[in-house]
Structure 1
């Protein structure tokens, strides 16, 4: 039987993010490590209580300073308590554990306890002899804590630990004048006791690869989330509880709605309930969190946030055929500083419009023409939201960059807004680059834009891009055509104009089907492909032109093709929906490939799919083929790019 669900492998930690606000964290020890534990607890707004042998006078300087500032509380234990915990007699241990338990009960609302004086710490210089707590003493404290269900950490003694402290980093603000003000973004890593020093190094390496403004981006998205929940077209909610403003579950295990969950297009005459308006705005916040460059998010100001969330006339004008009027205050500034040195290249007297395909995502897959357009010719760039940050980073600092505000349900309105911006730029003599993911004319609205600009007297120059429909599968080692496996290719969209359903082709053994813009509708599309075509619009029905696909047909979902966080999930039509739900959050943009090409080059390969097409036991042969391909598992997941791509 196929392994439908992942097998748990022991040895990991359950990593949590505690919020111990006003709760007591009890620290036993007064060395530098104790001071470090106290500092992080204070940042989490906990009440910190410390006690240790030798009293406050023997504590490290930082602890004494924080006690004096009344940031933490020092509590002296009953006379002889610490000494009793070091005694070795059986009866002595029972009495010592009981005495420590009574002391622990005298503290209010203890959430966590940690022992730090199991280390030898040179920072304790006031002792005539260095004190280190014995294992027996720590064991008695551990027994008292567990009896009271208080989790315990004991430094350098993993066998007594209920939890450990990972290597952490809190990102400071990179904004000018912020004076290293810390942000809400924290990073933690653990090696689960297998290499603490190495974990610290890995932490540094990871942090160094992130943009300096990552913390500011988090703060801005948090503010944007609050505004999205509080601000509506009709009123501002004064009570945050009414809008549900609170902590966000950062890892929902893919249980939430898809990032690109279908949203119907709105018209300007439609009204929304408070709940509908809030959900729509929250979907927008989720999308810009995924699509926009981190540097761009870090530069957001509150006025721009309010502007993005406003139910503006521009968002819905396209529905009513109303003219759009440019407003310079609505422009999204470049992700780079506009005051950076450097002069823009000279612009022609007459504006120029370039429709540029950015390829599947990796900057090295830009054509030379596209690279030149972005780096040398453009004086204004209007980008779709799916273009990766690595490509946008090629745009010179002095060139304004506008990213499409594709509010869920407002794709047409956002498109109209971009066209208005482009037209205004052209009238000023700008070289306008309309930057699109993949190829501009493969479900990229390229045709509409050519006609729009032509109607206003500007002839667009098209720079083709490598389409993700062809390149994406290759990054998962899947050929869209292959002798002996797939003789033809059909490319279609998962959603029609204004969100309407589309008709999908029926099953042909020798054909590969590629579906773009369909991952968020995966369950619906699979039902159409495998459902009975009764001609009455039922399951499958008129939404499929041809016979149903066998439920064991291979399928691949390819997400963020050519990007460092690329993911390829291989399964069958029968299992793919459940598989994707178990894989966690989506990684847009994604695409779907259906057909036998998905298994053609896996492992030792299979180029004989078409050899037995007329065999009477073809289903049995195909099921065996699929079982061999998946090796008894329900799916195959491939993460990331080949190492060689780091050289390009």
Structure 2
């Protein structure tokens, strides 16, 4: 159990999407709502059957649907046998769902509800949540994209208001983008013949959960099947990391580029163009800048100015949409084609593009998440640019690293008198996926692991148990590394400072189970140490807790004119 059981006053619904094509829906009533329910059934591909006496006066829109042959009218008062005789033949004539539009005060509503529930027939009674086995959501529809809002009977008008606000915040043409990306997905599956691998590899086949815990799992050269599946992995990464505005504006050219991705990775020039001669008088400059943990108000003024003035922006995939939205529309943007197993090739591509732009006299901004020099490969890029004669044209701007800001936003003080007097920042994954040496246990130490959640099980095993090399070492040769107690408090902090920030609080012995069950919401990090429970203790008996959302800057920084 990760939380208390919901009570009758605090329950939440299991939201589902039903394929209602060819289903039979009974509509009981003659009012405007009955007409609306018929329209909803028709839109979903179902066949609505209206139950009403022959003498009843139908609402004009309902009468028109009957006259047009869209709705079948059974001219009779409701009879119990209607539930078992008007349905599809393949399910023994049992109807698929019943909609009662007369409300709770009509004695017939309670009777129909009870009968349907006894026979496991889904039933909805208007304005009577206690009589319903399912409810309809306030829905925004844009092509294949549907977004539903429910208040679980607390107020349908409020649900409609929230739905309108959510829909208004979405970029236009997002439904078309869903269709286009779906076509790409199907084409990749057809061409690669790897559908079963795509499903097993964490492709987003279930809309109800976040990415699986292995979404960013490293692909090694030995994993040939996963290498073959790289285009599907790239498409999954695009859906996860591209800003919604860019996804909504995806073009046929973008689709073609996705389909042919990685065909040219063996080339010495990944961008497909010959680099201009190194003319010193025509060189521009390259700015390496950190974008901070995610929230645009956490940018430095220097980085904001660089975003506004750059001629070309080369972005790591983890830079969030809020920061990318600050890039002027006129500025070309290239997002790194990085996914586990392709990092080196994608890095080389960005470096080539940066050098080509600088040699053309452009100001090129390499925008990274966090700080360029804290596991951002910033030092490697500076080295490379220097080796190509561009060292004097490189500027590095700092950023707020998530290694220190994410714990803060999760309510974790990495240092605290009498609790933690040191902070250690580690990587959970070394070069080419090799596990780095695990740090020893120090009771007063807080450790922040970056790039670790995709191999969380291995990391926990390394922290709490001796490695094979250590097991073969005698005490005379070297002292044994102090192991971390399995009950050490820890926290997973994902998408720190973004609207969908999530914090999972638990202990080392339960963190693997928690991450596997809750899924992945990259980028994320792991904080380990007693400081994790200083301000936020787990309730007794709970294995872990989950906290959603970020409200750390609600005091008015939003919209601050950083360029003022």
- TM-score, structure 1 length as denominator? 0.76
Distance, in Å, in 2 between the alignment partners of 1:201 and 1:548 is 53
Runs of 4+ in 1 over 6 A off after TM superposition: 240-247
CA distance in 1, matches of 2:359, 2:55: 77
Structure 1 Cα separation of the partners of residues 428 and 264 of structure 2: 27
Distance (Å, rounded) in 1 between the aligned partners of 2:421 and 2:196: 58
| 1:277–1:354 Cα change, 3 Å | same
Report the alpha carbon displacement of residue 366 of structure 1 after superposing the two structures with TM. Answer: 0.7
Q: Which of residues 304, 316, 323 is equivalent to 2:268? A: 323
Does residue 358 of structure 1 match 2:291?
yes
> Relative to structure 1, is the Cα distance of residues 143 and 569 closer, same or farther in structure 2, using a 3 angstrom cutoff?
closer
Alignment gaps of 5+ in structure 2: 274-280, 558-564
Relative to structure 1, the CA distance from residue 115 to residue 472 in structure 2 (aligned partners, 3 Å threshold; closer, same or farther) is same
The residue number in structure 1 matching 2:74 is: 76
Corresponding residue for 1:553?
488
Report how far residue 521 of structure 1 moved: 1.0
Q: What is aligned with 1:9?
A: 6
**Structure 2 residue aligned with 1:150, among 121, 127, 130?**
121
Instruction: Tell me the residue number matched to 1:114.
Output: 99
Q: Answer whether contact 2:221 2:227 (CA < 8 A) is retained.
A: no
How many angstroms does 1:19 deviate by?
Answer: 0.5
Aligned CA-pair RMSD: 3.2
Distance 1:103 1:527, change over 3 A: closer
Offset at residue 451 of structure 1 (A): 2.0
Asked if 1:137 is matched to 2:97, the reply is: no
1:639 aligns with 2:551: no
Q: Structure 1 residues 524, 534: closer, same or farther in 2, change over 3 A?
A: closer
* Distance in 2, Cα, partners of 1:629 & 1:145: 42
| Deviation (angstroms), 1:433 | 0.2
The equivalent position to 2:144 in structure 1, one of 184, 187, 190, is 184
- Matching of residues 267-278 of structure 1 within 5 Å: 272-273=224-225, 277-278=228-229
8 Å contact from structure 2 (residues 219, 227) kept in 1: no
d(CA) in 1 for partners of 2:438 and 2:168? 46
| Bigger Rg, which one | 1
2:197, 2:386 → 1: CA distance? Answer: 49
SS of 2:435's equivalent in the other structure is: coil
Distance 1:407 1:554 in 2: 30
Structure 2 counterparts to residues 30-45 of structure 1, below 5 A: 30-45=30-45
Q: State how 1:508-523 maps to structure 2 within 5 Å.
A: 508-523=442-457
**What is the match of residue 524 of structure 2?**
590
Tell me how far apart the structure 2 counterparts of residues 102 and 437 of structure 1 sit (CA, whole Å).
Answer: 60
Question: Does 2:23 match 1:23?
Answer: yes
Query: What is the rounded CA distance, in whole Å, between the counterparts of 1:213 and 1:514 in structure 2?
Result: 40
Equivalent position to 1:164, from 116, 132, 135:
135
Name the SS for the 2:441 alignment partner. Answer: coil
SS in 1 for 2:144: strand
What is aligned with 1:295?
245
Give the counterpart of 1:384 among 306, 311, 316: 316
Equivalent of 2:345 in 402, 413, 423: 413
- TM-score (norm: length of structure 2): 0.86
Deviation readout 1:148-189 (Å, 9 max, x if unpaired): 532221223334322221222213xxxxxxxxxxx1111112
Aligned to 1:314, the other structure's residue is in SS state coil
Give unpaired runs (5+ residues) of structure 1: 86-95, 120-132, 172-182, 329-347, 604-627
Q: How does 1:246-325 map to 2 (within 5 A)?
A: 248-252=205-209, 256-265=212-221, 272-273=224-225, 277-278=228-229, 280-310=230-260, 312-315=262-265, 317=266, 323-325=268-270
Report how far residue 486 of structure 1 moved. Answer: 2.0
CA distance in 2, matches of 1:287, 1:18: 27
Quickly say closer, same or farther: Cα 1:106–1:478, change in 2 above 3 A. closer
Aligned length: 536
Partner of 1:625: none
Q: 1:60: which partner in 2?
A: 59
